[in-house]
Structure 1
Amino acid sequence: MKIDERHLIQLAAVVKTGGVTEGAALLGMAQPAVSRTLSMLEKRLGEPLFLKGRRPLQPTPLGRALADHGQTMLAASRKASDTIESFRVGKGGTVRIGGTPFFMDALIAGMIAEFQNQHPDVRIDQIYGYFPDLRAALKADQIDLAICPIDILDEGSGLEFQQILPGRNVIACRVTHPLLLKRRLQPQHLLDFPWVAPPPGSPLLADLRSMLLSFGATELRIRYTGGSLFSVINYLKGTDALTVLPHGVVFAQRNEKSITALPVNVPHPERALGLLKRADAPRMPAVDHFARHVQNGFDNLKHLIKRHEEAVVWGL
C-alpha cells in the first residue's frame, strides 16, 4: 500500500504537538485540511491512528509507527529548507578556491580561518596553482574563484579580475644577514651570495632571473629550489642565501622576526594580486561573501603594508 508522504508528515505534526489544531499550525496549514487527511488515512488503513477520548491526542501503535516515518520526512524537509535559506544568504555551501602557493600560505589561509569563524557552515575547498592552471580550472568549473597575481588579462578571456594588492617584489633574507649591515648596497654585493629559486611555474622564477641578469650576473647561483613558502623561510633563517618574494608575503612574516627585505629597489614586471572568476559564473552567495571578505581584508592591510614598505630606505 502506497501512502502519500505528505499525509505522514501531517500525522507526525499532530502526534508531535498533541492536537490537530496545533499540528496544522506547525505546518502552516488549515485545521480542517489536516482533519480530513487523518480521517481519510484511517479509512484507507482500516485502523485507528489515535486512542479515543484521550487529550492531548495519543497515537495507537500503528499511528506512532507511521508518525515516526513522517517525523523523519518532516525533519528532512526542514533541513532542506534551512539548507536553501543558508545558500540564499551565503551562510552555507562550498567555496572552491585556487591560488598561488606563497600568497595562499602567507595571507589567504588566515583570511579563510577568519571567514569560517563567521560562517562555520561554509566549506572551503582549496587547490594550489599558477595563473595558467588556475585559468584552466576556472573555465572547467573546477574552482569558483582564483587568487593570483597576473600581468594582463586578455580581452575576450571570459574572466573578470579584481585587483586586491599592487605587485611589488623584494629581496628577502634572514634578519641577521650581513648585507643588512652595509650602509649602501651595490649590485655586486648581492651576487656574492647564493639564491633560493621559487618553485617551477611561479612568475617569481622569471623575475629572479631577470633581476640577477640586470645586476650583471653571468650565471645563476641557485642553491635551493622547489620548496614551499615555509621551507624557504626556514632555509633562509639558517643560511646567508637570498631570494625574491612578493612584499606582501614578507610583510605577513613581520611578527615572526625571522626574515626581512633588503633595502634594494628591485625591478619587476607590472603585476597585481587579485580575484579572478568566470564572467558567466552562476551567482553563488557564499562565494560572493568570501570574495568580499578577502577584498576587505586586503583593504585593511594595504596601509599597513605600505607603511612597512616605507620603513625600508630603498637603496639601489
Structure 2
Amino acid sequence: MSALDWYLQINLKARHLRLLVTIDTYRNLTQVADVTHVTVPAVSKSLAELERGLGLSLFSRTAQGLVPTPYGDCLIRHAREMLTILHQARDELKALSSGTEGKVHIGMLPASASVLLPQALSILKQRSPGTNVMVTEGTTALLLPELWQGHLDLVVGRLPPPDTLGSFQEKELLEEPVTLMTGRHHPLARRKTLAWSDLRPFPWILPPVGSILRDPLERALEAHDVPLTSNYIETLSIHVARAHLQISDFIAVMAGTPTGDTAQPLHTLPLSLPRLLRPAGVLWNRNRGLTPSAQLMVACLEEAAQRLQAGLGNAPRAASSSVKGNRLHASPEAT
C-alpha cells in the first residue's frame, strides 16, 4: 500500500473534508478561522498536516488568497460529495431514531410538474405521514447538476431529451397534451372553428429560449406559417401565464394544463399540435440509488400519474412506468 493509499484509507477524517471545503469556499485563512472558531495557526497547521500526509500540495498561496492546485480541485470535489453522503446518512439515522420515515429532497421542473407532484405528495402523506419532503423548483440546467452531486434525490417534471442526460435513470410517468390556451374573453375563444392563420395577429406567452419546449414549438408554428411576433412574454411560471391570460389577448402554449380551473378559467384553442415534448417523469442518479423514502415517493408519483391519466379523457395514454435502466447519456453539464 502506498503512502497516499494509506493516508486516504486510514487517516483521512471528516474534519479534513470540512477543512478543504471551507478553505475552498473562503480562500482566506483568517475567514476560515472565524467560521470554524479556531485560530489561524491552527487552520494553517491542519492544512499543512493534510498536505504532508498526502504528499501533495493542495493550495497555492497567492496575493489573492489560497487557490486550489489540480490536486486540491480533485480532492475538494470528492470531499463535497462525501460530506453530502455523510449528511444524508445523518438525516436517515436521525429519522429512524425519532420514529419518522425519512426525508426526500425533490427538484421540480416548473409547470410540467405543477399538477403531478402535488398529487403524489398527497398520496405520500396518506401512506406515510412521517416521510418528509423538501421541494426545490428550478430549471433543468439548475436541477440536474444538483441531482448529479447528490443534493437532490429525485427530479420530477418533463423528461429532458435523451442526449442531454448524464448517468441518470428515468421513469416515464405521464403523456400530457400540449395545447394552445387563451383566456375565456379572448376574441378567438368565441370562434367554433379556427385556421392557423387566425393566430398571426396575437401576442404570445412563450417558454424562454433554451427551455425544452421553445425550439419544438417554434418549429411547429413555422410549419403552419405562423411567425412569432415581436410582442411576447417569456416565462416558465404557470401562475404568471394563467394570470396574464385573464387580462390580455395573449396566446400561451401549455402542457397538461387543466381548463376546469374556476378561479382562472382558460380556453383551449381547437388546433392540434404534434407531440412536442417527452412525457413527464422522474429522474434519479443511478450511481447513488434510491433511499427507501425516495422509492416510496417514486411509487406515489406512479399512482398520481395513473389518477391524472384517468382525468385526461381523450389525451394520449400514460407513458410506460417501466424503468429505462440502460439509458445512459452524456454528462449533466450538457443540459
TM tier, smaller: 0.5 to 0.7
Q: Please, which of 74, 80, 94 is the counterpart of residue 103 of structure 2?
A: 94
Moved more, 94-103 or 194-203: 194-203
Residue in 2 that maps onto 1:148: 157
- Is structure 2 residue 220 aligned with structure 1 residue 211? yes
Letter in 1 for 2:105: R
- For residues 234-257 of structure 1, the C-alpha deviation after alignment (integer angstroms, 9 at most, x for no partner) is 1001112101110x2x22754546
Q: Please, which of 102, 105, 108 is the counterpart of residue 114 of structure 2?
A: 105
Counterpart CA distance in 2 for 1:108 and 1:203 is: 19
* Equivalent position SS for 1:112: helix
- For residues 61-92 of structure 1, the C-alpha deviation after alignment (integer angstroms, 9 at most, x for no partner) is xxxxxxxxxxxxxxxxxxx99942788xxx52
- Answer whether contact 2:208 2:235 (CA < 8 A) is retained: yes
Counterpart CA distance in 1 for 2:288 and 2:141 is: 19
Residue in 2 that maps onto 1:34: none
Q: Please, which of 188, 200, 205 is the counterpart of residue 196 of structure 1?
A: 205
Distance 1:230 1:270, change over 3 A: closer
Letter in 2 for 1:222: N
Distance 1:82 1:101, change over 3 A: closer
- Is structure 2 residue 236 aligned with structure 1 residue 224? no
Letter in 2 for 1:240: D
Which has the larger helix fraction?
1
State the Cα distance separating 1:210 from its structure 2 match.
Answer: 2.1
Residue in 1 that maps onto 2:299: 292
- Is structure 2 residue 315 aligned with structure 1 residue 303? no
State the Cα distance separating 1:268 from its structure 2 match.
Answer: 4.1
Letter in 1 for 2:96: I
- Answer whether contact 2:110 2:236 (CA < 8 A) is retained: no
Distance 1:191 1:309, change over 3 A: farther
Q: State how 1:1-316 maps to structure 2 within 5 Å.
A: 83-84=95-96, 92-150=101-159, 152-154=161-163, 157-226=166-235, 228-246=237-255, 248=256, 250-251=257-258, 254-256=261-263, 258-307=265-314
Letter in 1 for 2:267: T
- Answer whether contact 1:195 1:243 (CA < 8 A) is retained: yes
State the Cα distance separating 1:137 from its structure 2 match.
Answer: 1.7
* Equivalent position SS for 1:290: helix
- Answer whether contact 1:96 1:143 (CA < 8 A) is retained: yes
* Equivalent position SS for 1:97: strand
* Equivalent position SS for 1:192: coil
- Answer whether contact 2:196 2:271 (CA < 8 A) is retained: no
- Answer whether contact 2:181 2:251 (CA < 8 A) is retained: yes
Counterpart CA distance in 1 for 2:223 and 2:93 is: 62
State the Cα distance separating 1:189 from its structure 2 match.
Answer: 0.3
Q: Which runs of 5+ in 1 are unaligned?
A: 1-79, 311-316
Residue in 1 that maps onto 2:34: none
Counterpart CA distance in 1 for 2:114 and 2:265 is: 16
Moved more, 159-168 or 223-232: 223-232
Counterpart CA distance in 1 for 2:146 and 2:93 is: 31
| CA RMSD in angstroms, aligned pairs only | 3.0
Counterpart CA distance in 2 for 1:197 and 1:304 is: 26
Counterpart CA distance in 2 for 1:134 and 1:198 is: 17
Residue in 2 that maps onto 1:59: none
- Answer whether contact 1:95 1:287 (CA < 8 A) is retained: yes
- Answer whether contact 2:108 2:156 (CA < 8 A) is retained: yes
